[in-house]
C-alpha cells in the first residue's frame, strides 16, 4: 500500500494551484519564506513519523514529496506571512491537513475495493463518464488500475494550449487504434486550432466510429476558423450525439447528409457559408429526437427551418446581445412528434409553428423582435403572433415569462386571445399591471387544473389598485391547485428614482395588491383543493395572511391553504 500512497501524494501535489493563481491580488511569498516553512514542516514531520528504512527509491523520496505537498497547501491557504509564525499553530494545521489526506485516501481505497470486484470492461465504462485527466488519476489506486485508463473508449480534454495535448491525443489514439471510440470531447481556449491537427483528429475518430462528438470553445466570443469540422461528419453511420460550440462548419457535400443513428444535436454559435446548413443536417437525421440551437447574429442562417417527423425536443435561443441593422430572421417549426419546445428567440421577425399535434410542454421567453423590425406593420406582427399561438394551442403544460406576456398584451390588445383548450398546467410571471389581465388570459384555458403565479413588483409601473371582476370558466369548474410565489423585485431600466421609494410604502402597496389577488382566487374558485402562498419573510409579515384569511369567503370548503416563507 505504501507505493500507491506515495503516488497519491504526488498526484495531490501536481493538482495544487500556483499561489499567484489561487491569490491573484496577494503578494506571493518569496523563496526565503517558503524555504523556512519547509524546514519547520520537516522538523514537525520527523517528530511525528519515523524515517523510512526501505531501500525503494520512491519511498525514500516520500518525505520530500510529502513536505512539498504540505508546504504548497499551507502557502495557498495563507492570507499573510505571519499566519503560521507560531510553531504551535503550524503543528495544529499540519495535523488537520494530514487527517484530511488520510480520510481522502481511505475513501478512495474503499471505492477502489468496490471497483476491483467489477470486470475491466465495466470499470472502463464507468471511467468514460469522467474527464480524461480524472480518469488518469485512478492509476494510483492499485496495480490493476495503473494502465486501465488507456482502455477507456473515449477522450475528454480541456486545454488552454492545444499544442500541449496534441501529442497526448495522438498517442492515445495510436494505442487504441484497433478499438472504436464511444466519446471524443475537446474544449479549447487557444487560437490556431487547425494548425494543431484538431480537424484531422476529428476526422479520424469519425472514421473509427465515434458515437459522441463534442467540440468547441469555452471562452472565445466568435469562431476563429470556418473549416474546423471535417466534411466526413455528414456521413457518419455511428454518430449518436453531436455538440458543436463556437466553431465553423463546412458546407455539406453535394451528395447530401446521411446520419442514420444521430439522435441528439446541439449547435451553439456556429458559422457557415451555407444558409441551409441546419435544414440539410436535420433532413439527413431520420431518428433525430433532441435538437438545441443557440443562434449567432452572423451565422448566415436567416431562416431556421426545423422539419422532422422524429423530433421530440427542440430548444432555440437567440439573444439581442449583437445584431446586424436591417437584417431579418425567421424560424419555422414543423414537427408532428414534438413534445417539448423551449423558445427563447428575441430576434426572429417571423415565427411559424405548425403540425405540433403532440406538443405537451412549452417554455416561452421571447419578445418577438419587439422594437427591432422596421418593415413589419402592426397588423402583420399581430397575425404572426396569433398564428404562432394557434400553432402551439394544443399544449398541455405552459411556462411563460413576464416579458412575453407584456408583448402579447401589447400586440394583441385589439384582438381575441388564443384559446388553449388542452392546457392543464400553467406557470406564468406577472407584474401587477399584467395581473389586471390575468382573468382574460385564463378565459382561454377552460381545462386548467394547476396554476403557478410568479409575482414581480415593478416599482415604476404598479397601478394604485387591482380590480379583478371577470371570473373565467376554469375557476368555476376545473382549477384544483394554485401556487402564488414572490420573486425578486425588478426595477425598470433607467429609472434610478425607483431605488429611493421607501420600503414601507412599497410593502403597503404589495399588501394592497397581492391580498386582493388571494381574495379573488379564494372567493371565485369552486373546486380549489390547495392554495400555496410563498412570500419572503418581510412581505409575509406585512401581508398578515393569517389575519386576512378569515375575512375572505372561501367558496371551496375543502381547500387547504399553505403559507411558506421563501428567500429572494
C-alpha cell at 538: 418581510
* Calpha distance 407→189 (Å, rounded): 39
Q: Which of 318, 326, 327 is nearest to 346 (CA)?
A: 318
- Return d(Cα 71, Cα 166) in angstroms, integer: 33
The owner of cell 448566415 is 300
Measure the CA–CA gap between 147 and 69, rounded to whole angstroms. 25
pLDDT at 21: 37
- The DSSP H or E segment spanning 180 is none
In degrees rounded to 5, what are phi and psi of residue 485? -125, 135
Give me 527's grid cell: 373546486
Closest CA to 449 of 481, 406, 417: 481
**DSSP bridge pairs for 212:** 183, 241
- pLDDT at residue 101, as a whole number: 78
pLDDT higher than threshold 90 for residue 249: no
213: which strand partners?
A: 184, 242
Per-residue confidence (pLDDT) for residue 270, from 0 to 100: 85
Closest C-alpha among 344, 476, 482 to residue 426:
482
pLDDT at 498: 35
Contact 411, 378 (CB under 8 A): yes
- pLDDT at residue number 10: 60
How many Å apart are CA 436 and CA 189, to the nearest integer?
Answer: 49
pLDDT band (50, 70, 90) for residue 104: confident
**267-274: average pLDDT:** 86
Alpha carbons 37 and 222: distance in angstroms, whole number: 46
- The band of 293, judged by pLDDT with boundaries at 50, 70 and 90, is very high
Rounded mean pLDDT of the chain? 79
Instruction: Say what the pLDDT of residue 502 is.
Output: 43
pLDDT band at 493 (very low <50, low <70, confident <90, very high): very low
Q: What mean pLDDT comes out for the span 95-116?
A: 74
pLDDT band at 499 (very low <50, low <70, confident <90, very high): very low
Mean pLDDT across the stretch 163-186? 81
Q: Which three cell numbers stand for residue 534?
A: 410563498
Sign for the CA dihedral angle at 22, 27, 28, 29 comes to negative
Q: What is the pLDDT of residue 25?
A: 40
Does pLDDT of 211 surpass 80? Answer: yes
- DSSP per residue, 398-439: EEE-HHHHHHHHHHSTTSPPPP-TT--EEEEEEEHHHHTTHH
Query: Contact 93/74 with Cβ under 8 angstroms?
Result: yes
Helix, strand, coil tally for the chain in percent (to 5):
40, 20, 40
Judged against a pLDDT cut of 60, whether residue 373 lies above it is answered with: no
Orientation angle between helical segments 62-77 and 2-14, nearest 10 degrees: 30
CA 148 to CA 160: how far, in whole Å?
Answer: 26
Residue 243 in 3-state DSSP? strand
Q: Which three cell numbers stand for residue 261?
A: 443513428
Least Cα distance to 293 among 483, 284, 277, 283 occurs for 277
DSSP 28: P
DSSP character for 250? Answer: P
Q: Would you place residue 219 in the very low, low, confident or very high pLDDT band (cuts 50, 70, 90)?
A: low
Per-residue cell: 457: 413588483
What's the CA gap between 537 and 131, in Å, rounded? 43
| Weakest-pLDDT range from 62-66, 96-100, 149-153, 236-240 | 62-66
Q: Residue 499 carries which DSSP code?
A: G
Confidence band of 394 (pLDDT split at 50, 70, 90): very high
Residue 543 in this model has a pLDDT that exceeds 80: no
Beta pairing partners, 565: 535
| Greatest mean pLDDT range, 323-332, 412-421, 469-478 | 469-478
Q: Residue 253: which residues within 8 A CB-CB, separation 6 or more?
A: 231, 234, 235
Q: What is the mean pLDDT of residues 433-440?
A: 85
Q: What's the chain's length in residues?
A: 568
Question: Which span out of 193-202, 335-344, 375-384 was modeled with the highest average pLDDT?
Answer: 335-344
Please, are residues 280 and 252 in contact by the beta-carbon 8 Å criterion?
A: yes
- For residue range 457-468, list pLDDT tens digits in order: 776 566 677 888
Residue 23 has pLDDT above 60, yes or no: no
| Of 179, 181, 213, 219, nearest in space to 198 by CA | 213
User: Over the Cα atoms of the chain, what is R_g?
Assistant: 31
Q: How confident is the model at residue 496 (pLDDT cuts 50, 70, 90)?
A: very low
Q: Measuring CA to CA, which residue among 483, 488, 439 is closest to residue 459? A: 488
Span of 82-91, 434-443, 508-517 with lowest mean pLDDT: 82-91
Question: What is the structure's pLDDT at 13?
Answer: 58
Longest dimension (CA), the chain: 91
Residue 361 has pLDDT above 80, yes or no: yes
Is the model more confident about 520 or about 33?
A: 520
**Phi-psi map region of 399: left, alpha, beta (phi>0 left; psi -120 to 50 alpha):** beta
Other C-beta atoms closer than 10 Å to the C-beta of 439 total 16
Tell me if the pTM is above 0.85: no
Mean pLDDT for 254-259 is 84
Amino acid at each position: 500500500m505504501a507505493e500507491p500512497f506515495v503516488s497519491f501524494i504526488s498526484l495531490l501535489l501536481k493538482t495544487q494551484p500556483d499561489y499567484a493563481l489561487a491569490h491573484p491580488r496577494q503578494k506571493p511569498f518569496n523563496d526565503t519564506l517558503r524555504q523556512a516553512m519547509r524546514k519547520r514542516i520537516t522538523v514537525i514531520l520527523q517528530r511525528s513519523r519515523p524515517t523510512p528504512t526501505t531501500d525503494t527509491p520512491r519511498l525514500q523520496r516520500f518525505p520530500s514529496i510529502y513536505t512539498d505537498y504540505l508546504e504548497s497547501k499551507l502557502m495557498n491557504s495563507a492570507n499573510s506571512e505571519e499566519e503560521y509564525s507560531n510553531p504551535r499553530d503550524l503543528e495544529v494545521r499540519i495535523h488537520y491537513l494530514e487527517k484530511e489526506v488520510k480520510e481522502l485516501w481511505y475513501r478512495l481505497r474503499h471505492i477502489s475495493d468496490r471497483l476491483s470486484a467489477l470486470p475491466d470492461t465495466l470499470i472502463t465504462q464507468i471511467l468514460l463518464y469522467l474527464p480524461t485527466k480524472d480518469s488518469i488519476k485512478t492509476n494510483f489506486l492499485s496495480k490493476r488500475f495503473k494502465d486501465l485508463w488507456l482502455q477507456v473508449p473515449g477522450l475528454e480534454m480541456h486545454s488552454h494550449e492545444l499544442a500541449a495535448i496534441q501529442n497526448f491525443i495522438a498517442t492515445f489514439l495510436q494505442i487504441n487504434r484497433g478499438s472504436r471510440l464511444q466519446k471524443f470531447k475537446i474544449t479549447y481556449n487557444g487560437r490556431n486550432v487547425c494548425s494543431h491537427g484538431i480537424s484531422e483528429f476529428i476526422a479520424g475518430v469519425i472514421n473509427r466510429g465515434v458515437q459522441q462528438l463534442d467540440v468547441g470553445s469555452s471562452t472565445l466570443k466568435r469562431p476563429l476558423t470556418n473549416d474546423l469540422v471535417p466534411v466526413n461528419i455528414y456521413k457518419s453511420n455511428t454518430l449518436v450525439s453531436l455538440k458543436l460550440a463556437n466553431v465553423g462548419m463546412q458546407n455539406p457535400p453535394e451528395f447530401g447528409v446521411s446520419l442514420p443513428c444521430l439522435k441528439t444535436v446541439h449547435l451553439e454559435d456556429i458559422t457557415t457559408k451555407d444558409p441551409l446548413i441546419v435544414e440539410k443536417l436535420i433532413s439527413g437525421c431520420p431518428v433525430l429526437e433532441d435538437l438545441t440551437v443557440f443562434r449567432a447574429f452572423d451565422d448566415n442562417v436567416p431562416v431556421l427551418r426545423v422539419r422532422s417527423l422524429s423530433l421530440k425536443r427542440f430548444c432555440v435561443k437567440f439573444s439581442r446581445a449583437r445584431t446586424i441593422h436591417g437584417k431579418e430572421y425567421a424560424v419555422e417549426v414543423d414537427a408532428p412528434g414534438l413534445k417539448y419546445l423551449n423558445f427563447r428567440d428575441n430576434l426572429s421577425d417571423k415565427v411559424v409553428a405548425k403540425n405540433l399535434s403532440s406538443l405537451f410542454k412549452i417554455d416561452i421567453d421571447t419578445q418577438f423582435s419587439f422594437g427591432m423590425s422596421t418593415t413589419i406593420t402592426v397588423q402583420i406582427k399581430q397575425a404572426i403572433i396569433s398564428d404562432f399561438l394557434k400553432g402551439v394551442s394544443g399544449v398541455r403544460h405552459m411556462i411563460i415569462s413576464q416579458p412575453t406576456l407584456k408583448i402579447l398584451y401589447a400586440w394583441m390588445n385589439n384582438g381575441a386571445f388564443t384559446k388553449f383548450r388542452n392546457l392543464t398546467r400553467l406557470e406564468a410571471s406577472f407584474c401587477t399591471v399584467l395581473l389586471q389581465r390575468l382573468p382574460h388570459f385564463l378565459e382561454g384555458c377552460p381545462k386548467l387544473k394547476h396554476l403557478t403565479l410568479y409575482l414581480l413588483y415593478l416599482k415604476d409601473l404598479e397601478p394604485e389598485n387591482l380590480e379583478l371582476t371577470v371570473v373565467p370558466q376554469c375557476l368555476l369548474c376545473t382549477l384544483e391547485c394554485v401556487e402564488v410565489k414572490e420573486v425578486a423585485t425588478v426595477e425598470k431600466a433607467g429609472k434610478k428614482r425607483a431605488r429611493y421609494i421607501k420600503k414601507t410604502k412599497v410593502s403597503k402597496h404589495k399588501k394592497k395588491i397581492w391580498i386582493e389577488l388571494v381574495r379573488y382566487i379564494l372567493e371565485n374558485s369552486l373546486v380549489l383543493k390547495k392554495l400555496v402562498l410563498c412570500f419572503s419573510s418581510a412581505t409575509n409579515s406585512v401581508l398578515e395572511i393569517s389575519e386576512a384569511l378569515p375575512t375572505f369567503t372561501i367558496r371551496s370548503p375543502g381547500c387547504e391553504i399553505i403559507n411558506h416563507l421563501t428567500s429572494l
